[in-house]
Structure 1
Amino acid sequence: MKEHADLLRRLHHGEMLVLPNAWDEASAELVVEAGFPVVATSSAAVADVLGHQDGEKAPWQEMFAAVARIAAAVPVPVTVDAEAGYGLPPHELVARLLEAGAVGCNLEDTDHRAGGLVDASAQADRLAEVRAAADAAGVPVVVNARIDTFLPSSGVPDPLAEAVRRADLYRRAGVDCVYPIGGSTRDNLVPLVAGGPVNGNTTGELDLAALRSLGVARVSFGPRFHRAGMRESLDRLVAEMNLAR
């Protein structure tokens, strides 16, 4: 597992790492067959397949069981959208990740129970504990710290300034990458990329080539392919039914 963790970390410092997120074994196998070197999960897509809503509404046991099935199905590193960590203590969170066969994780700073954002210093302390637990386990789990200041639910008056502040705190806590979800614009990404690896998203303004030119280290797609696939399949079925009439 250490070799997979080391590979995942190296991929954040070379050619931009593109991660089309998976939700089950079949989708993970397709990602690998298409030539991608890492499988990332989407919590929203996995929860949907399991019959739950996103936002830590699914039992963590079910989420990690799904991850274990995915990791067992593919020969490449797997990184997990672990939401806010499901309230698990850092050492247990790391143990569950490794038990499932994962070597990376997203951890967001939204408080799904109280609402709004977790205090930045408290989140940095938690991230440092996750890093310490991974080091103690002998597997350098790659931590992608999601920063939720750009989400409407955050209530932050100056999302960019707070994102930059949180990114600095989280990096000093030992994370490998920061992910300003909802903030993929040139004006937002430039100051964040200056501090270290950043996870971006494609938008109408920024395609993969534009993100690469800005120095973005990693791009993920969340539940986009899962939802698009369901919609495309349903649209095809409706069209076939109409033709059969």
Structure 2
Amino acid sequence: MTTSLFERFAALHVSGDPLVLFNVWDVGSAGAVAKSGARAIATGSASVAMANGFGDGEQVPIDFALANAKRIVDAVELPVTVDFEGAYSNDPDEGARNIAQLAGIGAVGCNFEDQIVGGEGLHPIRNQAARIAAARQAVGPHFFINCRTDLFLKAPQETHDGAMLDEAITRVQAYADAGASGFFVPMLGNLDLLGRLCAQSPIPVNFMTYPGCPSNAEVASTGVARISHGPFPYLALMGQLEEAARAAIG
């Protein structure tokens, strides 16, 4: 892969004019999104899992996840970033090797989360920073490591406050120092907190849409540089398929 494809993807992250990613799960969905005028393709781990009969949370076998990602990369001409959850290991070196496999199949980046998959809570900041640093060393300087914190996802929205924001800022600064390219904060929908995070983050901030969330324009106004749609395109399409089947069968 040429460096220019990595640079092309990174350049799409503009504060206030975010890259919008309508997450896909297979070659067919990637092709449809590519035809829409998308500037990049992103998978969603939950969507890949649901579409193939697996549970979320790294229950998709890693070999299956890598093969599915490679088929998508090979099918489109756009940059492809892969939701890789916790890189299938808590060990920094093993996780780094797994992320390097993604780079090897042609992905330009991945999501890499800080929750303890299959356990409780989040990795301590020092531990997660070590995991990020190992991944950065394994993939080189250009691969886009979009580090996701589940700090806000794990807590009810009415509890999101300044103390949580302070922890998020501490995390993003540590993650950036370790080599993170972006910072993903699913379920942080408070525009004031989001704006304060964007103002203090040294790397682009990624928002995820959800039912009832602020509009893309409102989110963009906070300084967000990337908006993802997560599992919701898959869920909406499956709802439409069910309705169409019911109408046809009924």
CA contact (8 A) 1:116 1:153 kept: no
Query: 2:148 maps to what in 1?
Result: 146
Pick from 70, 76, 80: which aligns with 2:82? 80
CA contact (8 A) 2:206 2:227 kept: yes
Give the match's secondary structure for 1:89: helix
Query: 1:123 maps to what in 2?
Result: 128
Q: What TM-score do the two structures reach when normalised by structure 1?
A: 0.91
Q: Does 1:172 align with 2:177?
A: yes
Query: 2:214 maps to what in 1?
Result: 206
What displacement does 1:156 show?
9.7
Q: What TM-score do the two structures reach when normalised by structure 2?
A: 0.89
What displacement does 1:153 show?
6.6
Distance between the aligned counterparts of 1:72 and 1:3, measured in 2? Answer: 17
Offset from partner CA, 1:29-86 (integer Å, 9 cap, x none): 1111001111000000111122110111111111111101111100011000000000
What displacement does 1:140 show?
1.1
Query: 1:220 maps to what in 2?
Result: 228
Pick from 148, 164, 175: which aligns with 1:159? 164
Q: Identity over the aligned pairs, expressed in percent?
A: 36
Give unpaired runs (5+ residues) of structure 1.
none
Equivalent pairs, count: 239
- Counterpart amino acid of residue 226 in structure 2: R
Distance between the aligned counterparts of 2:216 and 2:100, measured in 1? Answer: 34
CA contact (8 A) 2:103 2:109 kept: no
Give the match's secondary structure for 1:107: strand
Give the match's secondary structure for 1:117: coil
CA contact (8 A) 1:21 1:220 kept: yes
What displacement does 1:187 show?
2.3
Query: 2:241 maps to what in 1?
Result: 233
Query: 1:13 maps to what in 2?
Result: 14
Distance between the aligned counterparts of 1:106 and 1:211, measured in 2? Answer: 20
Distance between the aligned counterparts of 1:17 and 1:151, measured in 2? Answer: 21
- Counterpart amino acid of residue 197 in structure 1: P
Query: 1:30 maps to what in 2?
Result: 32
Pick from 186, 191, 196: which aligns with 1:191? 196
Distance between the aligned counterparts of 1:64 and 1:222, measured in 2? Answer: 19
Aligned-residue CA RMSD (Å): 2.1
Distance between the aligned counterparts of 1:156 and 1:85, measured in 2? Answer: 27
CA contact (8 A) 2:96 2:131 kept: no
CA contact (8 A) 2:100 2:135 kept: no
Give the match's secondary structure for 2:184: strand
- Counterpart amino acid of residue 7 in structure 2: D
Structure 1 residues 92 and 71: alpha-carbon distance in aligned structure 2, compared to 1, 3 A threshold: same
